[in-house]
C-alpha cells in the first residue's frame, strides 16, 4: 500500500514532466549548479538557446528520493523532453557533441510554442 505522501511526490513529478516540455532535474540551478554533472548538462542545454525548466533536487528531497524509482534512472541530472526521459549527463553531452540535442530541443520548443498560442 502506497502512503499518500509518496503518491503526491510521484504526482508532482508527473505534473512537472507534463507541464514542462524541456525539464532538467539537477543539483542546484543552471546559474549556480551544485555538481559538475549538473553544470555540464545545464551548460549544454543553455547552449541550445531555448528556455527550459529545471527542478533543484537539493531543495526537493522528496523528488530526489522518488524520481530515480519513477524514471528507472539512478542518477542526476535527468533531462526529460516531451514527457520522455532522455538521460543523464553522459547522454546529454554525447547528444550535444553529435548535434542531436540541439534539434531535439528546438523542435520541442517550437512544437510547444504553437500549442501555447
User: DSSP assignment of 45-72, as one string?
Assistant: HHHTTS--EEEETTT-HHHHHHHHHHHT
Confidence tier at 1 by pLDDT (50, 70, 90): very low
pLDDT tens digits for range 51-72: 999 999 999 999 999 999 999 9
All cell numbers assigned to 55: 527542478
Domain contains 117:
no
Domain contains 50:
yes
Domain contains 104:
yes
Helix (H, G, I), strand (E, B) or coil at 29: coil
Domain count for the chain: 1
Domain contains 90:
yes
Domain contains 114:
no
Residue-number span of the structural domain to which 53 is assigned: 4-109
Q: What's the CATH number where 9 sits?
A: 3.40.30.10
Amino acid at each position: 500500500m502506497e502512503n499518500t505522501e509518496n503518491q503526491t511526490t510521484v504526482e508532482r513529478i508527473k505534473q512537472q514532466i507534463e507541464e514542462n516540455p524541456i525539464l532538467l532535474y539537477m543539483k542546484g540551478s543552471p546559474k549556480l549548479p551544485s555538481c559538475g554533472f549538473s553544470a555540464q548538462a545545464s551548460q549544454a542545454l543553455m547552449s541550445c538557446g531555448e528556455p527550459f525548466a529545471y527542478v533543484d533536487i537539493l531543495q526537493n528531497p522528496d523528488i530526489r528520493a522518488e524520481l530515480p524509482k519513477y524514471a528507472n534512472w539512478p542518477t542526476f541530472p535527468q533531462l526529460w523532453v516531451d514527457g520522455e526521459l532522455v538521460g543523464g549527463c553522459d547522454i546529454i553531452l554525447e547528444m550535444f557533441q553529435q548535434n542531436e540535442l540541439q534539434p531535439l530541443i528546438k523542435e520541442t520548443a517550437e512544437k510547444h510554442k504553437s500549442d501555447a498560442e
